[in-house]
Chains A and B, each alone.
Chain A
Amino acid sequence: AQSVTQLGSHVSVSEGALVLLRCNYSSSVPPYLFWYVQYPNQGLQLLLKYTSAATLVKGINGFEAEFKKSETSFHLTKPSAHMSDAAEYFCAVSDSLGNQGGKLIFGQGTELSVKP
């Protein structure tokens, strides 16, 4: 069965600093991995996804994530934090092998705070 662990429920960085949000997964099949962002009182917005085409995935708003099979990790990074990046971030794994009808298994979420 698939599972996702996000290390750190709260991460605080200064504006301009590196953002690193950690995600480790467990999957018995080749994983399809996702990062979503949720701004206050809004729904989830797709940041990026890993689909086995490339291990380094670039997403929206300057975020990227690197798939490391040996470490079963899919950490999210951004070189320089902006105040507007303050939000909750969710890592998820799909059990569908990329086909329709799969179910997403989410991590617990990491709330990112950005200090001026």
Chain B
Amino acid sequence: DAGITQSPRHKVTETGTPVTLRCHQTENHRYMYWYRQDPGHGLRLIHYSYGVKDTDKGEVSDGYSVSRSKTEDFLLTLESATSSQTSVYFCAISDTRAGGVETQYFGPGTRLLVL
């Protein structure tokens, strides 16, 4: 357990509405990630953060923005939600415990439905 929580766990929203998902970690990890999971695609990286106020884009960043004002919180915002953003969103942290090789640990996920 890497001490990761995500909120909300479930969300239903309407097209065009802004949505913010929160990832919270309790173990002071520097690196945090947002992925989306869709059938047939596995998980794809949206954005990641390598420190407070330091973020970068991933593979599928269009339509998403992120912010990290505190080490423990990484927020994912859908500026104007679309039906194509219906997905399950996972947050992850990076840790070099257990042998020193970086390993990512995942939160429980947020299921988002955009109507």
Residues in A lying within 8 Å of B, measured CB to CB: 4, 6, 9, 32, 34, 36, 42-46, 49, 51, 53, 90, 92, 94, 96, 98-104, 106-109
Q: Is the CB of A101 within 8 A of B101?
A: no
Q: Which stretch of B13-21, B36-44, B60-68, B72-80 is in the interface?
A: B36-44
Q: How far is the CB of B95 from chain A (nearest CB, A)?
A: 8
Q: Which of A44, A90, A96, A108 contacts B40 (CB 8 A)?
A: A108
**Contact partners of B103 in chain A: CB under 8 A:** 34, 46, 49
Using known A-B contacts A43-B108, A44-B90, determine if residue A100 contacts B102 with beta carbons closer than 8 Å: yes
Q: Is the CB of B90 within 8 A of A43?
A: yes
Interface residues on B, range: 20 to 34
Using known A-B contacts A108-B40, A108-B41, determine if residue A98 contacts B108 with beta carbons closer than 8 Å: no
Q: Is the CB of B101 within 8 A of A42?
A: no
A9–B38 alpha-carbon span in the complex (Å): 13
A100–B54 alpha-carbon span in the complex (Å): 14
Residues in B lying within 8 Å of A, measured CB to CB: 30-31, 33, 40-45, 48, 50, 58, 90, 92, 94, 96, 99-109
Q: Is the CB of B105 within 8 A of A101?
A: no
A92–B50 alpha-carbon span in the complex (Å): 20
Q: Is the CB of B102 within 8 A of A103?
A: no
Using known A-B contacts A100-B31, A104-B104, determine if residue A43 contacts B109 with beta carbons closer than 8 Å: yes
